[in-house]
Amino acid sequence: MRVRKLIVLSAAFISFCCMPVLSYADQVHRVLPGETLSGIARQHGITTDSLLGNNQYISYPDMIYAGQVLIIPTENKQAYQVKPGDTLYRIAQDFEISMATLADVNQIVDRDRIYSGQILSIPKVYTVKTGDTLYRIARSLGMNMSDLAVENGLKNPDKLFVGQALIIPVQSSREETLADIEREMSPTVARFPDTLFYKGYPDGRRAVALTFDDGPDKKATSEVLDLLKMYRVPATFFLVGSNVARNGDMIKRIIAEGHTVASHTWSHPDLRTLTDAQLINEMTQLENEIQRITGLRTALMRPPYGFVSDSNLQKLREMGYKVIKWSVDTNDWRDQDVDKVLINTMPDIRDGAIILMHDYLQKSVTKEALPEMIQSLRWQGYTFVTVDELLGVNAYQ
Ligand SMILES: [Zn+2]
């Protein structure tokens, strides 16, 4: 017992001591009647650009609506409001950064023209020392080398010079950002372009797809269906086999109300650990059950946990499946807090987003977060479609 306690304690200590320095939480701002984007930005001490950057789903900056959700980014702790008599030179000196960097970051063309009340972003800067490499700097800052290169527009990461000021990108408090997902997914998508999808390419049409995993469940799924009906939003449900047999009515309702039914395997295993025969069994067992209830055989599948190997993808392609991952992870199963779910979700929304949610939890904030997500997106011109419609593929075989 004692040994175990010690291990737990040291683990807690390690995770505490190594937290990134920039660990303030993002926060949710719910627009009040009469508020404007610039007013909200000012109120939180950030620039309008930085507010828009974190809320790229805003299509019409001049038309924000009361009740709409905005996510105030972490970086607001690094802003400075210009006071009467300030000069760019003095501010740069105070924060120990170069005037060029400060002007660059804030897109200031005329360095003599800053005005009282203006919000300036104050970047964190690392000054390159003798013997530094980008790799070593990134490691010491606990961040990704490519993030650092991109932030500083470095075309050749080997060409650093001593005294060079590198801007340290602000790390989001969200664990997995859109950039991480894209970096991870792109190579596999390139190998299986006709089979593996994690987002749609809707050609300028503002469309997103809500997806619900691990149901159906009598209580959770019917609550979600009630909401979707109320807002007239179609969605895609990735069903798990063990829940299917005893929830035939729910599956019929899902289809009757205009949603798409898809496969999430029979027993929710890590597909990478299965033989081809086991994989086929996982798929066909569920298909047979869905067909018995609905007369349909699904053509979309989502691998449990998102884990899928190249050999899985080959087999699934042979079987006629489109493999669907996601570009936005709400983490609604983990974060029992509406604001956290919104913070996980809204900043990653883009045209064609596939949004991952769940409909098996007995106590969940999914149904509280959904109305705010739907309304906020709709007010900015988004429509909701099923995954098959988003991708322009067939839902059934
Ligand atoms: Zn799942």
If you measure from the C-alpha of residue 362 to the centroid of ligand 1, how many angstroms do you get, rounded to a whole number? 15
Point out the catalytic residue in the list 26, 259, 351, 358: 358
Query: In which domain, by residue range, is 63 found?
Result: 21-121
**Is 4 inside any structural domain?**
no
358 is catalytic: yes
259 is catalytic: no
**Is 11 inside any structural domain?**
no
Whether 117 and 198 share a structural domain: no
Whether 258 and 344 share a structural domain: yes
**Is 3 inside any structural domain?**
no
If you measure from the C-alpha of residue 305 to the centroid of ligand 1, how many angstroms do you get, rounded to a whole number? 6
Whether 113 and 137 share a structural domain: no
If you measure from the C-alpha of residue 214 to the centroid of ligand 1, how many angstroms do you get, rounded to a whole number? 5
Whether 164 and 182 share a structural domain: no
pLDDT digits (tens, 9 = 90+) for 71-107: 998 754 567 888 899 999 999 998 888 898 889 888 8
Whether 147 and 110 share a structural domain: no
Whether 161 and 225 share a structural domain: no
Whether 198 and 282 share a structural domain: yes
**Is 260 inside any structural domain?**
yes
Q: What is the reported pTM?
A: 0.75
pLDDT digits (tens, 9 = 90+) for 323-346: 999 999 999 999 889 999 999 999
Full 3-state SS string of the chain: CHHHHHHHHHHHHHHHHCCCCCCCCCEEEECCCCCCHHHHHHHCCCCHHHHHHHCCCCCCCCCCCCCCEEEECHHHHHEEECCCCCCHHHHHHHCCCCHHHHHHHCCCCCCCCCCCCCEEECCEEEECCCCCCHHHHHHHHCCCHHHHHHHCCCCCCCCCCCCCEEEECCCCCCCCCHHHHHHHHHHHHHHCCCCEECECCCCCCCEEEEEEEEECCHHHHHHHHHHHHHHCCCCEEEECHHHHHHHHHHHHHHHHCCCEEEECCCCCCCHHHCCHHHHHHHHHHHHHHHHHHHCCCECEECCHHHCCCHHHHHHHHHCCCEEECCCEECCCCCCCCHHHHHHHHHHHCCCCEEEEEECCCCCCCHHHHHHHHHHHHHHCCCEECCHHHHHCCCCEC
Our count of domains for the chain comes to 3
Whether 101 and 182 share a structural domain: no
Instruction: Work out the average pLDDT over 355-369.
Output: 92
pLDDT digits (tens, 9 = 90+) for 30-60: 999 999 999 999 888 788 888 998 999 999 9
Whether 156 and 272 share a structural domain: no
Whether 115 and 128 share a structural domain: no
